[in-house]
């Protein structure tokens, strides 16, 4: 039995399902399959917080609209537990927002709650997984690697099949640093600026003194030779009095997960 059939069989066992939906590769795949199997008995729940990029929220809304999936947006603020970007930030964050999600879901009659954690995630430092386990959140995609999810997403015709992996904007800021909303906005604007010029897989690390741009090796060469290079740098400079640095080590896996 193919893994996607295993997934469908598992999902059929639920009367209804509330899917935590970020609009990324994993949750888009899970939501699509759940929608195919459960129809109107599945809904997407998206957390809208100051540290989520606006384009991700917009893409999540667009995805659900195209698929005709009921979409619930839950607004969340920055809690005191994560205000200094601690090492265990992801645990506190997921614990808080999933409690909100579950409470709203139960209010609407949902009994089962799922997220898009995949097999590759299990081997990484992800404190947030502990919070999900404590709250009884189901992770049906742990039988799939990230590459398998991309493969099956492409088979299903999902435009998210080649979408780069993202994480919340707090991962771009230093650990144990009391950040401001302005810090978050600078990171978001730096990344959306790069994306607007075609650099979709990008990170903008920020420590109040320096905006450090991370690109993969192929895009790094393209960026340095880009005819719009000066215009891009001018836009990045307009975000404040910061040094603009290109990290020659290239794009790294997310830190502070």
Q: What is the 3-state secondary structure (H, E, C) of the chain?
A: CCHHHHHHHHHHCCCCEEEECCCCHHHHHHHHHHHHHHHHHEEEEEEECCCCCHHHHHHHHHHHHHHCCEEEEEECCCCHHHCCCCCCHHHHHHHHHHHHHHHHHHHCCCCCEECCCCCHHHHCCCCHHHHHHHCCCECHHHHCCHHHHHHHHHHCCCHHHHCCCCCCHHHHCCCCCCCCHHHHHHHHHHHHHHHHCCCCCEEEEECCCEEEEEECHHHHHHHHCCCCHHHHHHHHHCCCCCEEEECCCCCCCCCCC
Cα separation values, 248 from 27, 122, 182, 208, 215, Å: 32, 29, 26, 20, 9
Confidence (pLDDT) at 134: 97
The verdict on domain 1-156 having CATH code 3.40.50.300 is no
CA atoms within 13 A on the CB side of 194: 25
Check residue 253 and give its pLDDT. 59
Q: Which residues of the chain have pLDDT under 50?
A: 255-257
CATH 3.30.70 residue window(s) in the chain? 169-246
Indicate where the chain has its CATH 3.40.50.620 domain(s): 1-156
pLDDT at residue 166 in the model:
86
pLDDT tens, 93-130? 999 999 999 999 999 999 999 999 999 999 878 899 99
In the CATH scheme, what is the code of domain 169-246? 3.30.70
Report the distance separating Cα 194 and Cα 232, nearest Å. 7
Q: What residues have CB less than 8 Å from 89, skipping those under 6 apart?
A: 81, 82, 127, 170, 256
pLDDT of res. 256: 34
On the CB side of 46, how many CA atoms lie within 13 Å of its CA? 25
pLDDT at 98: 98
Show which residues are catalytic: 168
């Amino acid at each position: 039995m193919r893994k996607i059939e295993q997934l469908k069989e598992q999902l059929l066992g639920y009367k209804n399902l509330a899917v935590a939906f970020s609009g990324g590769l994993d949750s888009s795949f899970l939501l699509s399959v759940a929608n195919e199997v459960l129809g109107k008995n599945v809904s997407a729940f998206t957390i809208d917080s100051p540290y989520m990029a606006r384009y991700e929220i917009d893409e999540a809304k667009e995805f659900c609209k195209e698929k005709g999936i009921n979409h619930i947006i839950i607004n969340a603020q920055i809690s005191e537990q994560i205000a200094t970007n601690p090492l265990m930030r992801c645990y506190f964050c997921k614990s808080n927002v999933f409690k909100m999600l579950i409470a709203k879901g139960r209010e609407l009659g949902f009994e089962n709650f799922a997220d898009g954690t995949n097999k590759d995630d299990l081997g990484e430092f992800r404190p947030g997984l502990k919070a999900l386990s404590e709250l009884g959140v189901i992770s049906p995609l742990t039988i799939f690697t990230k590459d398998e999810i991309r493969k099956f997403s492409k088979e299903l015709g999902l435009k998210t099949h080649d979408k780069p992996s993202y994480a919340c904007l707090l991962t771009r800021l230093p650990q144990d640093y009391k950040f401001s909303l302005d810090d978050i906005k600078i990171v978001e604007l730096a990344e959306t600026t790069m994306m607007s010029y075609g650099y979709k897989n990008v990170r903008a690390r920020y420590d109040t003194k320096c905006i450090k741009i991370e690109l993969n090796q192929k895009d790094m060469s393209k960026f340095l030779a880009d005819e719009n290079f000066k215009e891009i740098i001018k836009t990045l400079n307009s975000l404040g009095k910061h040094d603009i640095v290109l990290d020659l080590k290239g794009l790294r896996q997310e830190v502070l997960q």
